[in-house]
Amino acid sequence: MKKTILITALFLLALMPAILQAQTAIDKLYEKYAGQEGFTSINISPGMFQMLGNLETDDSTEGVKEAQNVMEQLKSLKMLVYEPKEGQKFDFMSEVKKTVKLGDYEELMAIREENSDIRFLVKKTKDNHISELLMLVDDDNEGMIMSMTGNIDMNTISEIGKSMNMKGMENLDKLDKK
């Protein structure tokens, strides 16, 4: 009996890091603000990307093949958009900067205009793929953070931007030209 308890305890101890795995900063922001007034949240799971990547289609054009290739590289997408209601005031980007360790990311591109700031940041793997693409949009009183994870080849980044009809994403194709 003692041997069984000891084996069970060692097994649970070995699993502890996975069980207690800390949430990412993006997950914490998402859980805190998803469903709150002024916030729109989007979460696309690994299963959805896998399903989209494996869709059978009669269309064998290059564009469809590229889209499926992109989907196979993605694991998840989380997006949190803040659009305040009239009279509502909250500095969402300050909250993002307090929660997310932006120093852990490499900035790929920044676009700054009069009242708008768009930044693309990445975490890279050892083989120079992107494990996470972070897009931050600070536009007057509105803000957005998007985290896309996977094993993303730098060459497919612009394809992601073309396939997603979201504010700021059209700028990803400029990364190809760098």
Q: Is 6 inside any structural domain? A: no
The mean pLDDT value for 81-85 works out to: 88
Q: Is 5 inside any structural domain? A: no
Q: What is the pLDDT of residue 40?
A: 92
Q: Is 2 inside any structural domain? A: no
Q: Is 146 inside any structural domain? A: yes
Q: What is the pLDDT of residue 42?
A: 92
Query: Above pLDDT 70, what percent of the chain?
Result: 67
Mean pLDDT of the chain: 76
Terminal Cα-to-Cα distance of the chain (whole angstroms):
65
Q: Is 76 inside any structural domain? A: yes
Strands (E), 59-129: 74-82, 106-113, 116-124
Tokens standing for 73?
């590289």
Q: How many C-beta atoms surround the C-beta of residue 74 within 10 A? A: 22
Q: What is the pLDDT of residue 46?
A: 82
Q: Is 27 inside any structural domain? A: yes
Range of the domain at 136: 23-176
Q: Is 4 inside any structural domain? A: no
Residue 74 CB contacts under 8 Å (≥ 6 apart), including other chains: 49, 148, 149, 150, 152, 160
How many independent structural domains does the chain possess?
1
The mean pLDDT value for 48-77 works out to: 73
Predicted TM-score (pTM) of the model is 0.72
